[in-house]
Amino acid sequence: MTLNVKTDLKSPLWTNKGEIFVYGYGFANGILLKGNALADYFLKAGNSGSFKTALAGLNGIFAVVARLRDGNWYAASSPCGIPQLFYTNKDGKVVISDDAYSLTDGKFEKDDNAAWLYRCLAYIPGDATLDMRVKKIEPCNMLCIADGRLLQAPYYSFLCRKDGTQGTEYEAAGKCFLDILDRVFDRMACIAGGRQIAIPLSSGGDSRLIATMLRKKGYDNVVCYTVGRKSNPEIPIAAAVAGKLGYRHYVIYAEDKEIRLHDKTDLGYLAYCCNLCNMPWTFEYPAVKHLVMKGIIEPDTLFAPGHGGDFLGGNHIRCTFIDESTSLKAIARRIATSRPVKKNDPLARNAIHRLLEHDISFLPSSVLDDYMMKNWLSRNINISCRLYSYFGHGTLLPLWDNELINFFRMLDPEWKTKKILYTDNIVKHVFEPMGTGFPTSTHPTDKNVYMKQMFKDYVKSFIPARLLHELLPRPQDLTGLSYINRQMEKEVLDNNPVLYSNQHNELSLLWYLKNVEAFCK
């Protein structure tokens, strides 16, 4: 059957050249490509193989939808999944869009399985969305439409074979990391081209690394901001970092009534953010709205969040205590237990297990890496970047640079599991020489802590969920979500829902599930 393909791309940032549509930017062979130059880059690809090679050879934030010389249609976005692309196939008519709602034709058809996974995990693994007719192109995958079929195939992965790790000594690996870091921020400065860069600065190491490296490179047009409650201990540390670097720093306090979410004025953002598959990202929204509305940032400002640093450093491996003898079932169980709203749900655990790479020649830690990169981290990056694009601003992700990712992909797992190489080198060779070696936030990762938590989760499984929600103290709300989300959470709690945790995230997820049908109309 021949498929009729059309595009419905809503963002004004797409460039169209014949039957090729491109978005964003990327470096190829050291040259920055965007607009028509990026379109020409993909026009050279004539078939599936050369298209895959072109995708793998591009380093940046981009998307492409194209009909190539072989007559087939292809679509993909950058490994981080920005921008998100969706598609439907209705009686042989395929539509590709960056707006999932536009593919529903004004009527929501709920995918119950996807909705339950969304409820449990705060994301939907694989290619599903909350509407059974709408599929998403997964991060690191390309969609090929040929011979009457739609097929997703990987063009990149974070997998590393057991014999594929670097045989480099620790000191040499550290030097290599620092050399790559230098090139990463040279590329970042090239992309920004003097435009203002806004950094959401916490007390942690990742956003601090971005700010410190930009100062090291002599990039002056930078502003930093921090959002949270007045009692948040991260605020004075972030202020000290920005002050040392000579960058302006703004604090947006969550207690301020002006920045709280209000349904009538903020529904547009919440719908845009979620896009049939994402969790509502409310924490940073009032801060960015404040910066934009008050004219604090420039119209062409680029936002540079620190997403990816913890991942590269191996924090997720430490938190799940994966080693090189861990089985796939154990990996799935630990993913389903370590972060979700409803811990260790059987359906979620099985869905995770199906998506794990089953080839035993790959390192178990890299199997975890690959899943987390495509399903968890990319979703978190997406919701944050959709916030910036909602206000018309672009994003820079220096810690998601291809060269940096590939270096850590092949790094000795021990240096990632203990998060030694990443933290050791940025502290000793970046922070301390630049005077930003202030304390950072820390999280317990001792195996005994993990085992105690597993036992607590087991005991709590016998306690009714509503009673559990009333008995357990809420996590220390230093970010101020209880203020920002007050109206949203009240709307959910007034309906007396079944709850599986004491997390703000769970209430946000329930709010979107309640309202998603209206957003499709």
Q: What is the DSSP string of 366-429?
A: HHHHHHIIIIIIHHHHHHHHHHHHHTT-EE--GGG-HHHHHHHHTS-HHHHHTTHHHHHHHIII
pLDDT tops 70 at residue 319: no
For residue 250, is it within any domain?
yes
Higher pLDDT, 46 or 414: 46
Same domain, 70 and 106: yes
Which token pair is 519? Answer: 């957003």
- The average pLDDT across 411-433 equals 89
Of residues 274, 273, 275, the one with CA closest to residue 289:
273
How many C-beta atoms lie closer than 10 Å to residue 505's C-beta? 17
Q: Which residue has the higher pLDDT, 446 or 440?
A: 440
Closest CA to 381 of 89, 70, 79, 141: 79
Of the ranges 134-143, 155-164, 374-383, 491-500, the best mean pLDDT one: 134-143
Same domain, 143 and 178: no
3-class state of residue 215 by DSSP: helix
Same domain, 141 and 174: no
**How many domains would you assign to the chain?**
2
Under the banding of pLDDT at 50, 70 and 90, the label for residue 262 is low
Q: Residue 452's pLDDT is what?
A: 52
Rounded Cα distance between 502 and 507, Å, is 9
Q: What is the pLDDT of residue 470?
A: 53
What SS3 string covers 71-132? CCEEEEECCCCCCCCEEEEECCEEEEECCHHHHHCCCCCECHHHHHHHHHHCCCCCCECCEC
Distances, alpha carbon 69 to alpha carbons 37, 41, 231, in Å: 18, 14, 60
Q: Residue 502 — pLDDT band, cuts 50, 70, 90?
A: confident
Q: What CA–CA distance (Å, rounded) separates 152 from 142?
A: 6
Q: What pLDDT band is residue 337 in, cutting at 50, 70 and 90?
A: confident
Asked if 157 and 263 touch (Cβ cutoff 8 Å), the reply is: no
In percent, the amount of the chain with pLDDT more than 70 equals 91
Residues 203 and 292 in one domain: yes
**Together in a domain, 105 and 142:** yes
Lowest-confidence segment of 97-106, 162-171, 274-283 by average pLDDT: 162-171
On whether both 253 and 394 belong to a single domain, the answer is yes
Pick the residue with more confidence: 404 or 504? 404
Whether residue 518 is predicted with pLDDT greater than 80 in this model: the reply is yes
SS3 228: strand
Instruction: Return the minimum-mean-pLDDT range out of 153-157, 179-183, 376-380, 405-409.
Output: 376-380
Indicate whether 413 belongs to any domain. yes
The residue range of the domain holding 397 is: 170-306+383-442
Tell which of 125, 154, 183 closes a domain: 154
Q: How far is CA 175 from CA 163, 171, 315, 422, 429, in A?
A: 22, 6, 21, 11, 10
- Give the pLDDT of residue 76: 98
Whole-number pLDDT of residue 457: 52
Last residue of a domain, one of 126, 154, 182: 154
Residue 350 domain-assigned? no
Task: Please tell me whether residues 124 and 213 are part of one structural domain.
Answer: no
pLDDT band at residue 48 under the 50/70/90 scheme: very high
- 325 domain-assigned: no
pTM of the model: 0.91
What pLDDT score was predicted for residue 164? 86
Q: Report the mean per-residue pLDDT for the chain.
A: 89
Round the CA-based radius of gyration of the chain to a whole number and report it.
22
Contact between 52 and 42 under an 8 Å Cβ cutoff? The reply is no
Instruction: Give dist(CA 218, CA 91) in Å, integer.
Output: 56
The tens digit of pLDDT for each residue in 385-417 reads: 999 999 999 999 999 999 999 999 999 888 887
Q: Are residues 26 and 92 in the same domain?
A: yes
Q: Element (H or E) spanning 493, and its range?
A: helix 486-493
Whether 219 and 194 map to the same domain: the answer is yes
Q: Find how far residue 28's CA is from the centre of its chain.
A: 23
We report the CATH number of the domain holding residue 436 as 3.40.50.620
Q: Is 65 inside a domain boundary?
A: yes
Residue 321's pLDDT is: 72
More confident residue, 35 or 335: 35
CATH at residue 87 = 3.60.20
Co-location of 234 and 135 in the same domain: no
pLDDT score, position 229: 87
Least confident window among 71-75, 176-180, 472-476: 472-476
Close Cβ partners of 70 (under 8 Å, ≥ 6 residues apart) = 46, 47, 48, 146
Contact (CB, 8 A) for 35 and 51: no
Q: Give yes or no: residues 145 and 208 share one domain.
A: no
Q: Does residue 212 have a pLDDT over 90?
A: yes
Task: Note whether residue 346 is domain-resident.
Answer: no
SS3 (DSSP) at 197: strand
Residue 317 maps to a domain: no
Report yes or no on 232 lying in a domain. yes
Least confident of 26-35, 160-169, 238-247, 313-322: 313-322
Mean pLDDT of 245-260: 88
475-491 per-position pLDDT tens digit: 567 777 888 888 888 88
pLDDT of residue 445: 43
Given pLDDT bands bounded at 50, 70 and 90, which one contains residue 471? low
pLDDT value at 156 more than 80: yes
Quote the pLDDT of residue 501: 84
- The last residue of one of the domains, among 154, 186, 207, is 154
One-letter identity of residue 173: A
Which range of 148-152, 227-231, 476-480 scores highest in mean pLDDT? It is 148-152
Do 246 and 392 have their domain in common?
A: yes
Mean per-residue pLDDT, 19-30: 97
